[in-house]
């Protein structure tokens, strides 16, 4: 089933201090997420099974993938194989868009309770 979502400034979730994320849209095999990151914050090195492909919309980050470290600026992109250690230092307020495959279950929007009150 196709999913289409209109842009909204709500729906961001805390990921780490200075970093928030919002799942924009997802399908059976891919998930698209926007990350907003504050200058001075850090994404600690970590790994997950999903392949991760990203694009830096704005800002400046120092991205480490495996043993390689590069500074990314707007328009730069990356692809990180699943299971690969990676992390980032946020050098300026930044926005990145990333695709994960397979879908990261932990990034799926939480369903609201059916209770009303």
Is 21 within the bounds of a domain?
yes
pLDDT tens across 51-90, in order? 999 999 999 999 999 999 999 999 999 999 999 999 999 9
Is 7 within the bounds of a domain?
no
Is 86 within the bounds of a domain?
yes
Which residues form the domain of 30? 13-105
Kindly report the CATH number assigned to the domain that includes residue 51.
2.60.120.10
Q: Which residues, at least 6 apart from 1, have a Cβ–Cβ distance to it below 8 Å?
A: none
Overall number of domains in the chain: 1
Is 5 within the bounds of a domain?
no
Give the angle subtended at the CA of 83 by the CAs of 80 and 86, to the nearest 5°.
55
Model pTM greater than 0.85? Answer: yes
Is 113 within the bounds of a domain?
no
- Give the closest residue to 78 by CA, choosing from 96, 90, 95, 102: 96
Is 2 within the bounds of a domain?
no
Is 8 within the bounds of a domain?
no
């Amino acid at each position: 089933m196709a999913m289409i979502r209109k842009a909204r400034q709500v729906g961001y979730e805390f990921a780490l201090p200075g970093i928030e994320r919002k799942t924009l849209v997802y399908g059976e095999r891919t998930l698209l997420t926007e990350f907003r990151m504050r200058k001075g914050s850090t994404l600690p090195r970590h790994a997950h099974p999903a392949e991760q492909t990203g694009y830096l919309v704005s800002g400046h980050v120092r991205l480490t993938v495996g043993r390689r470290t590069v500074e990314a600026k707007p328009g730069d992109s990356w692809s990180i194989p699943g299971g690969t250690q990676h992390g980032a230092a946020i050098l300026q307020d930044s926005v990145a868009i990333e695709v994960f495959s397979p879908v990261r279950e932990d990034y799926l929007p939480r369903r609201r309770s059916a209770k009303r009150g």
